[in-house]
Structure 1
């Protein structure tokens, strides 16, 4: 990381970035060009190992590519905001942000219990609470992707205000 002064290494702050953000930009290999898709996600740390869960249609380009090319890259950020200068110098404008980028191995989840766990993880992240009434039919139908993250770094530029 070039800007070591913006590197985030505190596990609590990294979890806070993951919690505050709601869109992951997933980069998947193709034979020609990378395929990047934004989607919502859920996450968990198990013994300091980060797992990210995605859901979507049970078939399609994303699923076909992951089946063929399971190594993925990702970016997550909290949206940030512009910090405008007060001295009239346009070169002093900047952006406040918090972000995480990384790589991992993606897998298509087919086990119903594992899919149920992944969906609950996503729902808790997106809505703030568990949903105990997910229908088995819905779990069977939905496509679930689990990313075992093998490397990531976090970065932040805080607004001094």
Structure 2
């Protein structure tokens, strides 16, 4: 009986911990997430909306490393809009952080394109979704070769990548 009671309370504790981010996310929050490409990469929650398949959380992610495409063009720095299922996203969130993230028109433009195209949502982690975005452009993210001292430009920063 004692083991049954202890097991019950451990199960409740597990549910409380795993549901922590899910019940806490709000528009405007900034979070760290599992397997981010850079230590300073953050996820900015821009919009949460209901759909027939569940809540959709729209985010911006930055900074992300710059990579060279096969045609010589650079890609990276930030992703203005990515839609995730709430369940998938919250499973990847680690810590809510207190920093100000700059506003950008990239989000609204990306969100409108997604809406016009009646786009889907990611049901993979943000880290995996970033790799998908890079591969779409023919670039690869060197997961084990990230320079931790590299600081890519933030939103609205006019610096060129080094």
TM-score (norm. length: structure 2): 0.29
Structure whose residues are more often strand by fraction: 1
* Structure with more relative contact order (C-alpha pairs < 8 Å, separation 6 or more): 1
TM-score (norm. length: structure 1): 0.29
